[in-house]
Amino acid sequence: MTGTARAGPTTGTPAAIGARLVRIEGPDKVRGAAPYAYEYPVDGVTYCCAVGSTVTRGRVRSTSADAIRQVPGVLEVLWHANAPRLATADGSELAVLQSDRVAYRRQIVAAVVAESFEIATEAARMLEIEYDDEPFAVELRADDPDLYRPDKVNPNFATDTETGDVDGALRSATYGVDHTYRTPAYHNNPMEPHASIAVWHGDELTVFDSNQGASPVRARLAELFGVPPGSVRVVAEHVGGGFGAKGTPRPVVVLTAMAARVVGRPVKMAATREQMFAFVGYRTPTIQRVRLGADADGRIVGISHEVVEQTSTIDEFAEQTAVATRMMYAGANRRTTHRLRRLDVPTPAWMRAPGECPGMYALESAVDELAIASGLDPVELRLRNDPQTDPETGAPFTSRNLAACLRDGSRLFGWTQRHAEPRVQRDGRWLVGTGLAASTYPARARASKATARARRDGGFDVELCAADIGTGARTALTQIAADALGVAPAVVRLRLGDTNFSEAPLAGGSMGTSSWGWAVTRACEGLRARLAEADGSVPVDGLAVEVDTKEEIERREQRPAHAFGAQFAEVRVDEGTGEIRVARLLGVFAVGRIVNPMTARSQLIGGMTMGVSMALLEASLLDREYGDYLNHDLAQYEIATCADVPRVEAHWIDERDDFVNPLGAKGVGEIGIVGTAAAIANATYNATGVRVRDLPIRLEKLIG
């Protein structure tokens, strides 16, 4: 129905950007009315349960699939011998059941589809599989002769860089450090596991899926199943966390769609918590040698950051661990390298702040050690080596306010009152120490589409296939749309998470709001102009404007763009037992314009809380004999609880960076974790005089 003529957007409406607007979807989530992937009602749904390999390397020889098919309620048993062939079975993690090869322990080697979840689970447990197992290698070593140089590191950075005479500068430096830092494997554990419901209607596929970007999932599923992208619809309206694990399609969605096609009915599947440790990605362990040299004034003259990490035998993923070192501090002589080892393990993937998170732990620990060696305050050393242009290219930054973060953080934390000497400050049996670290993360934006549409009731619909993974994206985009339209947020309805809407990039790389907000701004500005032209003379119900920011993004000047921050920590260590407590944590950030202070603070505090886990608790423990991670559940894989998290404060400086995007905003989702572990490690040294260079920092490392 065509609506009546209506007035254009109002004038004089208070700005929505910068307001502390509560999450729009909050009431629905509290009431349980916000549907997640596993919860969509689908008639005739069946259930799929994946079966993981019990060997680490080898081949599947046979299964008891015929016997299991006789179990009442079982519809099908899939394994490589009868699974449909995918159109692009390229040997990657998504080539589910396409080969008899086993590349790592608990890789999917079979699946049971049944009438109920209970039948599928029990039948999967009963399935017998015989293997031809082979010797395997799972241990990462810096001296491994099979290390190799990848062609690039994630996503497309140069593997190695070198400028000047690094070795000569390090030899002649007045002060120097040369240490190796290690981080273990970390596994993403969002509250909602990977889950999917797949429904086929002929060659048309509908998938309800938990992911960080429905558009990329649609494109990949279309390739795998040999259908046009327009024949695939992916819905991810609400997502219970991702942290990078859901950044690209994983085996769960592929297996679910495959099973649904085979049985001719809708299929539902969710990864178990144990399976979340097997085939949905994790952060690679790293071995990092960092060498720094400084002159008598504490100015860095040489930097070398050499990284060793692992990948799988079926896919290559090279985390960009040393990339942040290339732009963080001044110094004429610089080297960064990355080396990989193919092991019989699952393929690593993105995890919150990939590259910067483990890399800055090593770099900022080494900078702290250089400050001690040179007798300089850690804040002052960083200020003396803060470059105004990119150290490798000479290009000016779009904005660089690290110094302001360090100075503001020092003031707010009371840094000048600290004791520089370790083991000086005490509180009864507790040794008290303070430490700091700098942080950074790239400020990116990708091309996105968005549609703004007028409604006959005077409201507006804004549609795009963005993903709100719990970050508050739905709320922030509503605020952006409201300001671009010149209306109150209450009259804007934001619709996202569906490939029926305008195509949009994934939620990752701290670029969601920047990318989507750019498109939303332009679409709403365009609609506002069209309404002004109409001036009430024509019916406008359904009047819509869709934009694509691709050309505008490509026209913009390319300059180094980064967010910066400084984290300060106070720790307390029991002198007798080595028990560690983080008493205070403060972060000050330069992250551009803040769209919503409430959701931004939540993201920054969440990142720092995750950094507490990284520093003190998290580690995936490898069993070298069986080639598997031992602690593959949340009973044994420890993360921070309320008792572990101290008073955490997040602040930001007044910054707007119009070079980055029209909003002047940078991402806040990842930078909070980047420097936190190093700040805690540096504070622990200040408290105890013991330098722990392999995370996590546990009591046995302090009292041994």
Q: What is the pLDDT of residue 79?
A: 98
Q: How many CA atoms lie within 13 A of 203 on its CB side?
A: 9
Q: How far apart are CA 496 and CA 16, in angstroms?
A: 20
Q: CA geometry: angle at 301 spanning 362 and 688, to 5°?
A: 40
- The verdict on residue 377 lying in a domain is no
pLDDT in tens, 265-311: 999 999 999 999 999 999 999 999 999 999 999 999 999 999 999 99
- The verdict on residue 423 lying in a domain is no
- The residue type of 572 is R
- The verdict on residue 671 lying in a domain is no
CB 255 within 8 A of CB 98: no
Q: What is the pLDDT of residue 475?
A: 98
pLDDT in tens, 569-603: 999 999 999 999 999 999 999 999 999 999 999 99
- The verdict on residue 8 lying in a domain is no
Q: Give the end-to-end CA distance of the chain in Å, rounded to a whole number.
A: 77
Region 453-479: mean pLDDT is 96
The total of other beta-carbon atoms located within 10 Å of residue 490's CB is 12
Phi and psi, residue 570, nearest 5°: -120, 125
DSSP category for residue 668: -
pLDDT at 241 over 60: yes
Tokens 């500068």 locate to 169
Region 620-625: mean pLDDT is 94
pLDDT in tens, 168-186: 999 999 999 999 999 999 9
Q: Where in the sequence is the domain holding 63, given as residue range(s)? A: 42-134+189-276
Residue 306: closest CA among 283, 340, 330 = 340
The total of other beta-carbon atoms located within 10 Å of residue 161's CB is 16
Average pLDDT, rounded, for the chain: 96
Higher pLDDT: 454 or 703? It is 454
H-assigned helices in 597-652:
597-616
Tokens 């049996």 locate to 429
Q: What is the pLDDT of residue 551?
A: 97
Task: Label residue 164 exposed, middle or buried (CB < 10 Å: 0-12, 13-18, 19+).
Answer: middle
- The reply to whether the predicted model has a pTM over 0.95 is yes
Name the β-bridge partners of 548: 449
| Coil/strand/helix, residue 235 | strand
Tokens 């081949």 locate to 59
The 647-652 sheet, strands edge to edge: 426-427, 430-442, 562-574, 580-590, 647-652
Q: What is the pLDDT of residue 12?
A: 75
* Residues 84-114 as b or e (16 or more Cβ within 10 Å = b): eebeeeeebbbbbbbbbbbbbbbbbbbbbbb
Q: What is the pLDDT of residue 538?
A: 60
Q: How far apart are CA 501 and CA 450, in angstroms?
A: 8
- The verdict on residue 121 lying in a domain is yes
Q: How far apart are CA 196 and CA 14, in angstroms?
A: 41
CB 703 within 8 A of CB 577: yes
Domain boundary among 555, 572, 589: 555
CATH number at residue 463: 3.30.365.10
- The verdict on residue 301 lying in a domain is no
Peptide bond into 14 cis (omega under 30): no
Q: How far apart are CA 495 and CA 464, in angstroms?
A: 7
Q: How far apart are CA 275 and CA 634, in angstroms?
A: 12
| Coil/strand/helix, residue 157 | strand
Angle between helices 214-225 and 251-263 (to 10 degrees): 50
Domain boundary among 506, 522, 555: 555
Domain boundary among 523, 555, 587: 555
Q: CA geometry: angle at 171 spanning 165 and 176, to 5°?
A: 110
Q: What is the pLDDT of residue 645?
A: 87
DSSP E strands: which ranges in 118-266? 129-133, 161-163, 175-183, 195-201, 204-209, 232-235
Q: What is the pLDDT of residue 9?
A: 61
Q: How far is CA 349 from the centre of its chain?
A: 9
Q: Which helix (H) or strand (E) holds 21?
A: none
Listed in sequence order, the residues at least 6 apart from 20 whose beta carbon sits closer than 8 Å to its beta carbon are 596, 597, 598
pLDDT at 232 over 70: yes
Q: How far apart are CA 272 and CA 521, in angstroms?
A: 40
Confidence of residue 673 (pLDDT cuts 50, 70, 90): very high
Confidence of residue 92 (pLDDT cuts 50, 70, 90): confident
pLDDT at 157 over 60: yes
- The verdict on residue 412 lying in a domain is no
Question: Which active-site residues does the annotation give?
Answer: 670
Residue 563: closest CA among 678, 416, 675, 701 = 675
pLDDT in tens, 387-444: 989 999 999 999 999 999 999 999 999 999 999 999 999 999 999 999 999 999 999 9
Confidence of residue 3 (pLDDT cuts 50, 70, 90): very low
Mapping DSSP onto H, E and C, the string for 288-333 reads EEEEEEECCCCCEEEEEEEEEEEEECCCCCCCCCCCCHHHHCCCCE
- The verdict on residue 573 lying in a domain is no
What is the number of structural domains in the chain? Answer: 2
pLDDT at 536 over 80: no
